[in-house]
Structure 1
């Protein structure tokens, strides 16, 4: 009986091996063909990015849809190394469709949208197919579709970079606004104010001034147009949703810091428990890169604060082999004077330097 059962089980390993080989071939196909598709997708994303940016840049210089769309088409073809002229339709309108006669059937669609004061957006969407090898053997077809899209904004003349920009899609009814001004102090904003939701003023009679445009995405002009204490030098209009890159919030630096009151100092990121309270006559201060947490607030009624790093000190010219000059601090007086007070050199004199003194029309070395 035992011998009969063993003879009946012979050959079962072949079936298991065949199944395992099929699974391994599937993983092999995913790694080879999927890897090729991933690399191709990344290259295509770079191409549509360049295409959209080329259109926006061209439009800001020429204000012509047709020229901008042609620039986008050429940029995409150059990046994808497509050397045959495409067949395109719709130049000068809001949608351009191009097909390329290459083996992988590239197609490019350029969409234009007028966003009022926000500018004009150019969206480039591309699709093509790449051939597969292992996956085709397994019955998954001979090609894999690959696509990518990108959008670029061409700003209008007279618009500035956003001084305040919120990506939160807050409610447009004022109940939970994306951006809210509140408090009893007057706010002055130099630059545009942009919001992915509503902008709401809750500062009572304080108000403020915006030296730029105010743009949100709600169905009515931003709320800053209604409080009389607010003044806006530019336009107040509805814009479009700015894409949120989804970056994680940076960690708060818990290092305790104190504001350096010396003019020209570079402040360091960290936690400040005392308000710097910059008043009239305050100096210039520069913020090093990082996250600042002002627990008691940040008051500035004077001075200058910049997040652009202070330029480095000028190098010692003597160390660079250049002439280093100084001047007298006093005239020669009296008889038999043996010393003269001069301004200090900015650095040590390197060994072997030539030192010259000039006075009274005579030079001494």
Structure 2
């Protein structure tokens, strides 16, 4: 039997052994925690660096700039504030798409961290940037146990960017090639007697056809990518002879700051990318269910379960989203969300296509008192949308001579107006105008309550404008009497919106490029400017949180609309009517949105004269003055334009569809128009184009 005294030394050995094990666990926990923290920091920094590289390159910066900025950001995020040492980097011009030949560069930070940047340029599908990181971490405790004194900590990330510079004025996404088939089978085509003038790039992912009889003009590049099949080089003789100068749109030789466009069709070893589908998120159908508009003038946003089949009259679109569940057909009339004054200067906007809805006003001396002499009077239209007052540009000026009498202003209503402002100039139209705030409230209305919801109707507009006859002009009328008592404190010019305040800026000249052959057209809205200058009502007017502000991404365009067509039907705008609409920032300037599932099974349209092919898809035609200010997105559908002298939007955010075809110039009576230079203009502007999803983490 072993004595208790003999066992005393064994406890010391056991305690020493347990302490070693305990210290090992503590050391393992500490070193593992350090490794976990290091990897977490490296992963976050790698994600940020990948996104930075993709974002910088995708928005037009060179790879050298993108890589340098990304490397610096990585170093900053792991608290290494000295610039990393990196090798040179350049992405070579690819000869095939997609490119699976990555190009890499290596960087070393002052603490020994190694960062590898890898770029894979995949053309229209985007540019992928991978960031791989590793560093050696010295262990504080584990090496005491006889294990390796260092471990390698790794992290990796990847981000993909779509090159926004590839977003064109016209982009056809279909990769099909007809290989000798009928000309209308080409995804992007300009056919007999078509006369489009396009400012910006046109890009085809598949077949690109230019008919010998077409006379298209492109102030930009025409870029052709290879399709899914064997796609022969198309006939581009006429197109290459009609390249114009960007951005002026004038014929060469180009002046300073301009460059002539070119055909880039992939000849020889050089193959150019097409355009990628940005994959915009599909909106939800919003708003309440709306009935058929029939004779209603002011339409409300919401869900229209049946096709309205507009047949005539004028239709003002209250701002918001319009979901056309069964398609949208315009067989006549005029549809717009533009707010205009009664008695507009020049060609009245709301008289387009002969709808006679422009409104007007007259001045009559009546009993009362007013400062004697000659007075000039201008009116503006008012309404409130999205928490902001919209005010149109001023009307034409009309004069009246008064001698101790008041002035009666009779107004034939203009679509969309809720009220009117009166601006007067003592001495006549050539003098300083000031707002008469006391005259804003219209008295003697022809309807029960302002803003006269019941008296505006398309029932009969044959007698419009009329300041007195409600039978022949069912748009209604308003009377405002201005007397001398309203001039108390009136002493123009004063700040905008106050008594005696200056009026909004006037409209600008019509968009009618030299040599366009355009007939007289309505004036354009004022340009964007610092509030209260510039446009205060339409596509160039913006707000934020209910306050007018400069136009920029993230703001609101108070008067904007969006057309959402979930399918299967689409838009059929005929040569008997016109549509002039604008989108806005709250809809990412996606004015017409047809989701990828909508291939437009209807309308099935009558073939054009001389082209026997049947057609289903969007039909964008007009009678004389149609415009789509914003972008059209229909990635699975076709767009066909067959019109003469009608497409006149001063700017567009680009059209992106499966197929885009400009076919015969067709007059209202269906006859072919073969005269040159009389078809529509499409002018690309980044100010009304969507923000393309630029970069995202993909690994």
Taking structure 1 as the reference length, the TM-score comes to 0.47
Q: Which has the higher helix share?
A: 1
Q: Which structure has the higher relative contact order (CA within 8 Å, separation 6+)? A: 2
